[in-house]
Amino acid sequence: MMLKFPSLWIKNATLGDRIANELRLRILENEMKPGDVISENQIAGRYGTSRSPVRDALKALSLDGLIRLERMGAVVQGMDLKDIQELYDVREMIENFAQQRVSKKNVSVLVQKLQQSIDKMELAAKYNDHSEFAYYDLLFHETIVRHADHKRIFNLWSSMKPLIMAVILVTTEQVFSYGSDHVEWVIGKHRTIVRAMQSKDRAVIEKSVNQYFDDSRHTLTESFRPDSSD
Amino acid sequence: MMLKFPSLWIKNATLGDRIANELRLRILENEMKPGDVISENQIAGRYGTSRSPVRDALKALSLDGLIRLERMGAVVQGMDLKDIQELYDVREMIENFAQQRVSKKNVSVLVQKLQQSIDKMELAAKYNDHSEFAYYDLLFHETIVRHADHKRIFNLWSSMKPLIMAVILVTTEQVFSYGSDHVEWVIGKHRTIVRAMQSKDRAVIEKSVNQYFDDSRHTLTESFRPDSSD
DNA sequence: GTAAGCCAACTTGTCGACAAGTACACTGGA
DNA sequence: TCCAGTGTACTTGTCGACAAGTTGGCTTAC
């Protein structure tokens, strides 16, 4: 039943987390559509578990904004193009904050770690492994936020991480389907980020972060045809 | 047992939410200190409930960053001065984003709502009701974020709201103890925010938001003497 | 035909129980 | 004295059950 989510990522995850990850993908891929009403019992039945882990999962999904808990049943909200662009707005805000903060310190250690992530992305690209690629894309950005050395910002990132993970997983799959040129272009964007950060110039960094997420939003606009998945 | 949290605020709240709110206050007021280890059974016993609602509460507190869930027991993290200042960093970031967005639209409706909150703060100040005051302080800022008309940003605010609520509750009590001059000064700060927003000038707004939270951080520095509550 | 009221099938919030796993003290042997 | 191994008392994750409350349809009266 649970096949979609890369099992490597969730080796020690609790049942609730697995169900949450699974449902995130199903909602993002429009298998569960906005307006659909789901209940704890229904999902528990579907996955052959009790309500307890499902309950945790639905709570998590409601924090993501993917569903809305109501008195009887939960209503799927889903994410349309605008919602995903808003998610990128927030990612841009967080990452700009983080990078500005990072740039006031020595970045050599950070740059080296980022380079490692980029290398792994290259490798994943070579072997056409889109979920591995997505993983290191996510790690790249998490590494930046972590190095900002700001607990609350990192907490913010962590709270959005499962959702971002699911979105990156879906969009990366699409990017791969466009061919290796597009994949290389994505890698190049990450190199650009690193270079901008090394400049340590406030305006340059802000511009580069803005450019990065503008590009991402633009890619979305192309790939997310309205209701293309029906 | 549960006496600290204003009961008006949580009339229809679930047991888990009440326990979470209560624990937030106890942690912020240093009755539960960083390093303390708590377990679901222990808290359930303390409040005379089963583990289920406690489990929800501890999950919420870990999302706040107030505790760290571990394999056996949860470790209280607490919030020191730096942590609260970091919380204000993030509030500043969110509110700046929201106000810049709001300022691109017609603000007259918003301004009127904000004025209502300020009026209620005035009234609460007159009757020396600090929790009522805190409530409308919170509402003031929530109103701004809501009017930004950006689901993801509002989601971010909502996810931090319970923690912000608890922090405002504690700090407002301290502000009131400083006397009515300080309370009036806080009200004045909110009026300044509104004026800056009406200017619709990007730089003016950014400056005003920055000033507001700088002031708040400064007030914190005065009131949060290290370990003053022991 | 229509509206009020009742009933049955759902829902969630909470509870207590069990199993698997962890930490720590205690025992025994050197 | 010290160290390895064992056992016990804890912990969490999951399960099934119950109660209170909601929804929607069906009956019944008009």
Determine the longest span between alpha carbons in chain A, in angstroms: 55
In a domain, A152, yes or no: yes
Q: What angle do CA B133, B135, B140 make, to 5 degrees?
A: 95
Q: Which of A65, A93, A151 sits opposite B93 (nearest CB)?
A: A93
Best residue in A86, A87, A155, A158 for a mutation probing chain B (most B CBs within 10 Å)? A155
Structural domain for B102, as ranges:
81-223
Distance B208 CA to D28 C1' (A): 67
State how far the Cα of A69 lies from the Cα of A58, in Å rounded to an integer.
8
In a domain, A195, yes or no: yes
Q: Using the structure block, give the residue that is written with the tokens 């967080």.
A: A94
In a domain, B228, yes or no: no
- Please tell me whether residues A95 and A40 are part of one structural domain: no
- Please tell me whether residues A145 and A188 are part of one structural domain: yes
The CATH number of whichever domain residue B104 belongs to comes to 1.20.120.530
**Alpha helices, DSSP H, located in A103-150:** 108-126, 130-147
Instruction: Answer with the one of B76, B108, B136 that is the final residue of a domain.
Output: B76
- Please tell me whether residues B142 and B163 are part of one structural domain: yes
- Please tell me whether residues B64 and B94 are part of one structural domain: no
Q: pLDDT tens digit string along A171-180?
A: 999 999 999 9
- Please tell me whether residues A138 and A41 are part of one structural domain: no
Q: What is the mean pLDDT of residues B92-114?
A: 96
Q: How confident is the model at residue A111, as a pLDDT?
A: 97
> Could you tell me if A86 lies within 8 Å of chain B, comparing CB atoms?
yes
Distance A72 CA to C2 C1' (A): 29
DSSP annotation of A111: H
State how far the Cα of B187 lies from the Cα of B125, in Å rounded to an integer.
9
State how far the Cα of B209 lies from the Cα of B211, in Å rounded to an integer.
5
- Please tell me whether residues B27 and B92 are part of one structural domain: no
In a domain, B94, yes or no: yes
- Please tell me whether residues B14 and B113 are part of one structural domain: no
Three-class DSSP category at B169: helix
The CATH number of whichever domain residue A62 belongs to comes to 1.10.10.10
Domain count across chain A: 2
Residue B223: pLDDT band with limits 50, 70, 90: low
Q: What angle do CA A144, B141, A95 make, to 5 degrees?
A: 10
CB B14 within 8 A of CB B20: no
Q: Flag if B159 and A155 touch (Cβ within 8 Å).
A: no
Q: How confident is the model at residue A228, as a pLDDT?
A: 42
Mean pLDDT by 10 residues, chain A (230 residues): 68 91 96 96 97 98 97 95 96 98 95 97 96 96 98 98 95 93 96 96 96 92 55
- Please tell me whether residues A65 and A133 are part of one structural domain: no
State how far the Cα of A166 lies from the Cα of B36, in Å rounded to an integer.
35
Q: Which nucleotides of strand D lie within 7 A of protein CB?
A: 10-17, 21-23
Q: What DSSP line would sit under A27-52, residue for residue?
A: HHTTSS-TT-EE-HHHHHHHHT--HH
Percent of chain B with pLDDT over 70: 94
Is residue B172's pLDDT more than 80? yes
Q: How confident is the model at residue A221, as a pLDDT?
A: 77
Q: How confident is the model at residue B9, as a pLDDT?
A: 74
Q: What is the mean pLDDT of residues B120-144?
A: 96
In a domain, A228, yes or no: no
Q: What is the mean pLDDT of residues B3-22?
A: 83
- Please tell me whether residues A110 and A219 are part of one structural domain: yes
Lowest model confidence (mean pLDDT) among A140-149, B108-117, B161-170, B215-224: B215-224
- Please tell me whether residues A69 and A86 are part of one structural domain: no
In a domain, B49, yes or no: yes
Q: How confident is the model at residue B199, as a pLDDT?
A: 95
Evaluate if the CB of A76 falls below 7 Å from strand D: no
Footprint of strand C on the protein (CB under 7 A): A 39-42, 51-52, 55, 58, 69, 71-74; B 14-16, 49-53, 56, 71-72
Q: Flag if A152 and B56 touch (Cβ within 8 Å).
A: no
In a domain, B229, yes or no: no
- Other C-beta atoms closer than 10 Å to the C-beta of B134 total 25
For residue A75, the cross-strand partners are: A37, A68
Q: Name which of B86, B85, B220, B91 is nearest B159 in CA terms.
A: B91
Q: Name which of B172, B194, B191 is nearest B183 in CA terms.
A: B172
Q: Name which of B74, B71, B68, B91 is nearest B161 in CA terms.
A: B91
- Please tell me whether residues A199 and A113 are part of one structural domain: yes
* Chain A: closest CA distance from residue B2 (Å): 24
- Please tell me whether residues B55 and B104 are part of one structural domain: no
Q: How confident is the model at residue B225, as a pLDDT?
A: 54
Instruction: Answer with the one of B76, B102, B122 that is the final residue of a domain.
Output: B76
CB A218 within 8 A of CB A212: no
State how far the Cα of A23 lies from the Cα of A31, in Å rounded to an integer.
9
Q: Using the structure block, give the residue that is written with the tokens 């605020």.
A: B9
Instruction: Answer with the one of A55, A76, A97 that is the final residue of a domain.
Output: A76
Evaluate if the CB of A49 falls below 7 Å from strand D: yes
Q: How confident is the model at residue A168, as a pLDDT?
A: 95
Q: How confident is the model at residue B221, as a pLDDT?
A: 78
